[in-house]
Amino acid sequence: MKKSEKILLTIFGVMFLVIIGGGAVAMGMKHYLAIREENETLSGRIIEMNEAIAQGSEWQRRHDWLDKQVPGFSSRQDASVKLLEVIQREADKLSLALAGKEFLEPVKTMGPDGLPLEEEGGYFDQATVKVTLTKVKEQAFFTWLHSMQTPDSFLGITRLQISPGGEGKTINVEAEVTQFYREKASAKLSKASTP
């Protein structure tokens, strides 16, 4: 082997080692940084979990309060009927005539295949009634409106459209009143509980 071939072989060998060595070092650094990032993420999760455990009694107290305060109904139909009774009772107190009453079905989100998506399972169920009042006096309506806004009963106006009635201080109103509640499990009958 000539001297120039030895030099050329040495140069190619060094270049080969630099390329392979550089690639190995780069891969090693990438792997090291990934492990370090995962450790930081896990450390953060441990801190969050410890905080959640420390706040557990507070969240339990809040949950217990909600369980005591949120109205419970056996079905959405039952909740809708009770809601309509409350709306009618408050309207009767102020001599307001409800021109229209309509139970509204919950809106279902459609998936890309055109079928409704499975429910997301929020904490509250809800029943909504749409009412229409025509040519009612403003003062009586606003008194009724405030009586329907009862946060302690989880009841409120979720949509409101007001237009002038044309005669004096009368207005036409379309309102959606919503009752938030938890659906109670119905009692199941078994052979042991029947006579």
What pLDDT does 123 receive?
74
Does the structure show a pLDDT above 60 at 190? no
| Assigned CATH for 72-111+123-183 | 3.30.70.60
pLDDT band at 125 (very low <50, low <70, confident <90, very high): confident
**Residue range 84-100, pLDDT digits in tens:** 999 999 999 999 888 89
Q: Parse the chain into domains and list their residue ranges.
A: 1-54, 72-111+123-183
pLDDT band at 169 (very low <50, low <70, confident <90, very high): confident
Contact by Cβ (8 Å): 102, 129: yes
Contact by Cβ (8 Å): 141, 133: yes
Please tell me the pTM assigned to this model: 0.62
What pLDDT does 193 receive?
45
How do strand 72-73 and strand 170-183 relate by DSSP bridges? parallel
